Amino acid sequence: MNTKEGFLNTAKTLAEALPFLQRYDGAIIVIKLGGHAMTDLTAMKSFARDIVLMKQCNVNPIIIHGGGPMINATLAKLDITSSFHEGKRITTEEIMEVVEMVLSGKVNKSIVSALNDQGGKAVGLSGKDSSLIYCEQDTPELGCVGKIMEINPEVLNSFIDSDFIPVVAPIGYGNNSKTYNINGDTVAGALASSLNADRLLLLTDVEGVKSSEGKLIPQLDSIQARKLIKDGVISEGMIPKVNTSLDAIENSVRAAVIIDGRVEHSCLLELFTSHGAGTLFRNN
C-alpha cells in the first residue's frame, strides 16, 4: 500500500519483529521443504524470498527437500513401474538412478536457482557430499532405501555464519559406494539434531496436528503427542512427521514445528511473530 498509512504499518511490523530478530540472531533453523510450497512456482518464489530475508537477518537456514511427485513424473515418462511398502518407495537399482537424478539434479537445482534469483547465495548438496549422511539398508524388501546410521555435519557447519544457504537432497551413501534413498523428513530431523538446531520446521499441506474435533492443536509435548498417536487421533501420514518432531526435540533440538506451507510467509510467521503457523513441539 503506497500510502503514509501503509508505510507506517510496515514500519510498525518491523519494530514489532525486533525481539524475535534478536531471539534468532545466529540461530540454526533446519527447514524441510515439501508440499505446495515446493510444487507451485509462486509459492516457491515467496518461500525463497523469505529464506533470503532470514539469512539477511543473521539466521542460518538449512533447507532439506523431498521430490516425490517429480520422481513419479519422471518414472512415468521412462515407463518404469514404482510401488510402495508401508509408505516407502520400493527402490530398485534402476529406480535409484532416477531418484538421484531427479533429487540431486532437477529438484535441488531448481530450489538453488529460486534462492539465488532472490539475491541469496545457495549451494546444492546431497547426503553423499563430504560423507554427510552414512546409511545402511533399511530392509531388504525396500531395496535401496536407507536407514541413517551416522551424520557428519562438518560440511554444513562450514556454512554457518557464512553468506551461503545449503540446500540438501535426501540421498545417502553406504558401504562400497552404495547410494540410498532416504525420507526427507527423517533427514531433516537427523540433521537438525546433529547441528543442535534451534528450530526444525516441517512444511506440509495441512494446518498442523488436529484434535479429535478437527481443531488445530497449537502446541504439544511428547507425552501428549504419543497419547494422541495411541488413541488414533494422529494417524496415517502425520505419524512420521510427529515422530520426526519428537525425535528432534529429544535429541538437542530446542523445538520442532509442523507448518502449513500453504500459508504465505509461514516460516516468517513462525519465527518472527507471536502468531505461529502450525503445531509446535517442545520437551516436557
- With a CB cutoff of 8 Å and minimum separation 6, the contacts of 250 are 222, 283
Q: Are 145 and 88 in contact (CB under 8 A)?
A: yes
C-alpha cell at 245: 518432531
Domains and CATH numbers, the chain: 27-282 (3.40.1160.10)
Q: Are 108 and 124 in contact (CB under 8 A)?
A: yes
AA letter at 135: C
Per-residue pLDDT of the chain (284 residues; tens, 9 = 90+): 567 776 677 777 778 878 888 889 999 999 999 887 888 889 999 999 999 999 999 999 999 999 989 999 999 999 999 988 877 889 999 999 999 999 999 999 999 999 999 999 999 999 999 999 999 999 999 999 999 999 999 999 999 989 999 999 999 999 998 999 999 999 999 999 999 999 999 999 888 999 989 899 999 999 999 999 999 999 888 888 999 999 999 999 999 999 988 888 999 989 988 877 789 998 86
C-alpha cell at 134: 552414512
The contacts found for 225-230 with CB under 8 angstroms, 24 or more apart, are: 225/281
Altogether, the residues listed in the chain come to a count of 284
Q: Specify the pLDDT at position 237.
A: 80
